[in-house]
Amino acid sequence: MSKNKGQAITRNMIRKNGRGGTQICGTTFLLALGFVWTVIVCMYAAVLYYVGFNDYTFSSRYIVAVNAPVSFRTYEEQNPYEESIIFYEEWDAPYDFMKMSDFMHEHAAGIVIVFPSEFDDQIKSGITPEVLSYYRTDTLDYKGLRDEFSDEYLAGYKSYLTDLFNLPEQSDSWNVTRGDIPTNGGMSGFTLFARAMGRNFIPILLFIALLYAAMSNGTEAISGQKERGTFSRILLTPVPRKDIIKSFTNGVFISASVPALVIITFAFLIPFYRHLTSLLPLLLLTLSLSLFISALTVMISVMNDTVSSAQTAFLPVFFILVSVAVTCINGGSDPERFYYYLPVYGQFYGLGDAFNGEPHIIASVVCSALTASLALIVTFISTKILSSEKFTSPTSSEDENAGNTPTVFSTFIDSAIGMFDVIFFPLFILSVFQIIAMIPIAVVYTGNPLYADFIADLANVSTVGEIMGKAMEIIGIFMNDSRFLALMSLSYILIILSCMRKAKGPANIGLIRKDFGKLYGMGLICGTVLMTLVFIALIITGKADVHGIQMPSPKKLFLFSVIMWIPQGAAEEVMFRGYMIPKVKSLFKNNEKAGRITAIAVSSVMFSVSHAFNGGFNLTALVNIFLFAVLFALIYEYTGSIALTCAAHTMWNMFQGNIFGLSVSGNETVPSIINTTYTGSDFGPEGTIEATVVIMAALVLFAVMKRRRQSAPNQS
């Protein structure tokens, strides 16, 4: 009987069972599936880009000189480099690793030497240019050739330049920067991309999927039943405490492992990661980590009386484990060997190497065994805790709650501690899907000579602000690529579907109503009028000057950008209004007014934060974005649908960019119908006082109309 009861508890943990049960985190499952599928597409695209598998034998004596100046060619003719053959190529992007790999592949060369353009002129002018050198990492022969060539042959060339241009004897005419390009079947660019994905992105995705799924299921395992007053029924059954803990842990373990196993399964569809010798380490490391996290989650659930308090207690665990993963990424690709044996560290490093076909069997077994042992210890502790009356007494029954009216302060605190999931989920899916959309375009742009200086400048980026600034610059560049706009449109659709799945239906995020079409039509008019008023105000104040109507060019880019604004506006409304506002309000069950105010404030702040790293963001832009969010939140609250705000958001952006030719939230301008010269804020119209006036007027008008409608029945 005990065994059957324990199995029933486990089954209820992994399937939907009304309010008393939990279910597999479907959103995490879809995120994992979508992310890995996109990675597969990107990698196969890279394979097609690097078509040309062959049996070339790379020579350790072949060299490619890129952008070689006249002085070097002359020197090489007069002083041939022993038995080596030097091939000459021209390319404007010295940091284009893929092209350098192509040169190596084409000439079967072992090293590449890249001179800057106008090298001789820089030497004459006293400028110290930088010469780049790359070598293949197949064998030490290539490194030896690179070192020999740099230290000996280029040293002779330096002396030659000293005599040729009458330079001071002790001057350093240039610096040599050394790098390497990994080799794999002549496809170095693809290999570099694939190894980075396998070592960093996929392991951290596994970590987040496990943590998020465990938190979604495990924190409700026992604390949720305590909160609902149903846990006492389980305690009254003849089931030992250890079996109760074991059953709940098994349920969380199975639920949390599903997304991770899906990621591993789909990763095996990628040829680069299809290593049978890696399968056992991958399973051991993933399942042991899942078991450990599940045990931790159940222990936290035992120690808390409500789901929100359990989730709050789990947050430090979440951040600590994710921080460990981040430190592993920052720690470089050659960690100390003992890290592979440590729980958590060993999982991250071991998973990364296993995906890249370099499994550490013994270390994986030891790490998995240690992690499983920790899980058993945590389970033992949970059993002891559950034996204490302090952690088994129900706290949310009707008798205990009778006469206890929560204060505004306690309600606010209870709501605040459950806020993590509400805030984290929209920002998480937004960042994931936008990064996915950028990957294939970034691969293409890496080989574009026009962006050589921009790519080179990335080496000087160090602070978080600089990183975010560069990221927004990249998005600004990509906004002029129709392929990127198409991928972004797809990413916004996936964001909407993810929120819909998370909220358990479109009706729960305001997407279904009988008058949806009518409200959407009103929104089209509303967004058009608001942005037109802003544009007129900018013309009156002299910040915008119209030069006439034009045919938008290129037409393809114009069309894709117009289409993109439709899912883009809808996605942001779904995330920050349709999904976030009801979720926050649900945390304030006993104080509807406080819940509504908090929901509007939180969603508006998070909407502002999501725009904070856009180019030209300033204080005025912050105020305007916040007021814009408050206006749309009030409209959503009033109508009960996001139809109007979705349409208004779309038209606001479309008219701002494609009609009036202005910058949209700090992003680059897109092809427009009206030829406009704009001299206002770098953030665009949303960073001006004119927009502030229009949005404030809209808020006042909304308040007046709402008051009149509310008072109309009373007057009649």
Residue 311 phi, psi dihedral angles, 5° rounding: -65, -40
Exposed/middle/buried for residue 493 (C-beta within 10 Å: 0-12, 13-18, 19+): middle
The whole-angstrom separation of Cα 665 and Cα 654 is 12
Exposed/middle/buried for residue 40 (C-beta within 10 Å: 0-12, 13-18, 19+): middle
**pLDDT score, position 397:** 41
Given a contact cutoff of 8 angstroms between Cβ atoms, the answer to whether 209 and 263 are in contact is yes
283: tokens are 């399973």
**pLDDT score, position 577:** 92
Given a contact cutoff of 8 angstroms between Cβ atoms, the answer to whether 570 and 650 are in contact is yes
The whole-angstrom separation of Cα 634 and Cα 702 is 9
Distance, first Cα to last Cα, the chain:
67
**pLDDT score, position 26:** 47
Per residue, the 3-state secondary structure of 281-304, as one string, reads: HHHHHHHHHHHHHHHHHHHHHHHC
Concatenating the DSSP letter of every residue in 569-620 gives HHHHHIIIIIIHHHHHHHT-TT-HHHHHHHHHHHHHHHHHHTTTTSTT--HH
**SS3 (DSSP) at 181:** strand
Task: Find, among 97, 126, 338, 317, the residue nearest to 207 by Cα.
Answer: 317
217: tokens are 């299921």
The whole-angstrom separation of Cα 581 and Cα 483 is 33
Concatenating the DSSP letter of every residue in 456-489 gives HHGGG--SHHHHHHHHHHHHHHHTT-HHHHHHHH
Whether a cis peptide bond, with omega within 30° of 0, leads into 713 is no
- Taking CA atoms, 225 is separated from 16, 18, 234, 240, in Å, by 14, 12, 10, 18
Which stretches in the chain have pLDDT values below 70?
1-60, 83, 97-98, 137-141, 169-193, 224-239, 308-309, 312, 315, 329-334, 387-421, 439, 442-473, 475-476, 513, 712-716
Q: How far is CA 167 from the centre of its chain?
A: 51
The partner residues of 17 in beta bridges, in order of sequence, read: 19
**pLDDT score, position 160:** 86
Given a contact cutoff of 8 angstroms between Cβ atoms, the answer to whether 503 and 509 are in contact is yes
Q: Looking at this protein, which amino acid is placed at residue 621? A: A
**pLDDT score, position 482:** 84
- Taking CA atoms, 502 is separated from 309, 425, 497, in Å, by 21, 9, 9
Q: How far is CA 90 from the centre of its chain?
A: 36
Torsional sign, CA 149, 151, 152, 155: positive
How many CA atoms within 13 Å lie on the side-chain side of 244? 24
Whether a cis peptide bond, with omega within 30° of 0, leads into 440 is no
Q: Write the pLDDT tens digit of every residue in 251-298.
A: 888 888 888 888 888 787 777 788 888 889 999 999 999 999 888 888
Q: Looking at this protein, which amino acid is placed at residue 552? A: P
Task: Find, among 559, 552, 429, the residue nearest to 485 by Cα.
Answer: 559
Concatenating the DSSP letter of every residue in 98-132 gives HHHHHHHHHHT-SEEEEPPTTHHHHHHTT---EEE
The whole-angstrom separation of Cα 230 and Cα 234 is 7
The partner residues of 19 in beta bridges, in order of sequence, read: 17
The whole-angstrom separation of Cα 79 and Cα 73 is 10
Number of H helices, E strands in the chain: 29, 7
Residue 70 phi, psi dihedral angles, 5° rounding: -60, -40
The whole-angstrom separation of Cα 555 and Cα 672 is 10
How many CA atoms within 13 Å lie on the side-chain side of 16? 4
Given a contact cutoff of 8 angstroms between Cβ atoms, the answer to whether 574 and 496 are in contact is yes
Task: Find, among 606, 595, 598, 534, the residue nearest to 572 by Cα.
Answer: 606
The whole-angstrom separation of Cα 419 and Cα 423 is 6
Residue 276 phi, psi dihedral angles, 5° rounding: -60, -30
Q: Write the pLDDT tens digit of every residue in 389-419.
A: 544 554 444 344 434 444 454 444 454 555 6
Q: Report the run of H or E that residue 242 belongs to, with start and end.
A: helix 241-267
Given a contact cutoff of 8 angstroms between Cβ atoms, the answer to whether 192 and 181 are in contact is yes
Given a contact cutoff of 8 angstroms between Cβ atoms, the answer to whether 548 and 675 are in contact is yes
**pLDDT score, position 455:** 55
Write out the E strands in 418-549. Answer: 544-549
